[in-house]
């Protein structure tokens, strides 16, 4: 089981901000911005490159949930960033697809 599967199973505690039938969203334990929330599908897709056509509705759902959380967190109007890391060079540290929602401060380009 990945770290995220253990959080979904409630084997590891997390500060949950959203849950529905398809995903769980919780605050990152090492935030890179004042708001840093991970939106994680309950279905264990290892990374976006491993997603299949059947996963298309799930991937869209993750982005819609991220936008809804941004509104609830008060960062939708000022702006926010969504990030999906893929593979070691992309910064992936947990082999379970997830969306980072970052906001509450200006974001710079290009990212690290």
Q: Tell me which of 61, 98, 100, 108 is the catalytic residue.
A: 98
Beta bridge partners of 99: 39
Whether pTM > 0.85 for this model: the answer is: yes
Q: Is 109 contained in some domain?
A: no
Q: Is 31 contained in some domain?
A: yes
Q: Is 68 contained in some domain?
A: yes
Q: Is the pLDDT of residue 112 over 90?
A: no
Q: How far apart are CA 10 and CA 21, in angstroms?
A: 15
Closest CA to 94 of 34, 26, 35, 33: 26
Instruction: State pLDDT tens for residues 26-84.
Output: 999 999 999 999 999 999 999 999 999 999 999 999 999 999 999 999 999 999 999 99
**Domains of the chain: total:** 1
> Is 98 part of the annotated catalytic residue set?
yes
Q: Is 49 contained in some domain?
A: yes
Q: Is 84 contained in some domain?
A: yes
Q: Is 9 contained in some domain?
A: yes
Q: Is the pLDDT of residue 22 over 80?
A: yes
pLDDT at residue number 3: 96
Q: What is the CATH number of the domain that holds 75?
A: 3.30.428.10
Q: Is 111 contained in some domain?
A: no
Q: Is the pLDDT of residue 95 over 90?
A: yes
Q: Is the pLDDT of residue 88 over 90?
A: yes
Beta bridge partners of 19: 24
pLDDT at residue number 111: 83
Q: How far apart are CA 61 and CA 58, in angstroms?
A: 5
Q: 29 is in which domain, residue-wise?
A: 3-103
Q: Is 36 contained in some domain?
A: yes
């Amino acid at each position: 089981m990945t770290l995220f599967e253990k959080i979904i199973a409630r084997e590891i505690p997390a500060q949950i901000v959203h849950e529905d039938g398809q995903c769980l969203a919780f605050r990152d334990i090492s935030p890179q911005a004042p708001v840093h929330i991970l939106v994680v599908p309950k279905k264990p897709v290892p990374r976006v490159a491993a997603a299949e056509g059947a996963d298309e509705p799930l991937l869209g759902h993750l982005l819609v949930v991220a936008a809804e959380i941004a509104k609830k967190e008060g960062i939708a109007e000022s702006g926010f960033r969504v990030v999906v890391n893929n593979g070691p060079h992309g910064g992936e540290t947990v082999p379970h697809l997830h969306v980072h929602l970052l906001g509450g401060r200006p974001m710079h380009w290009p990212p690290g």
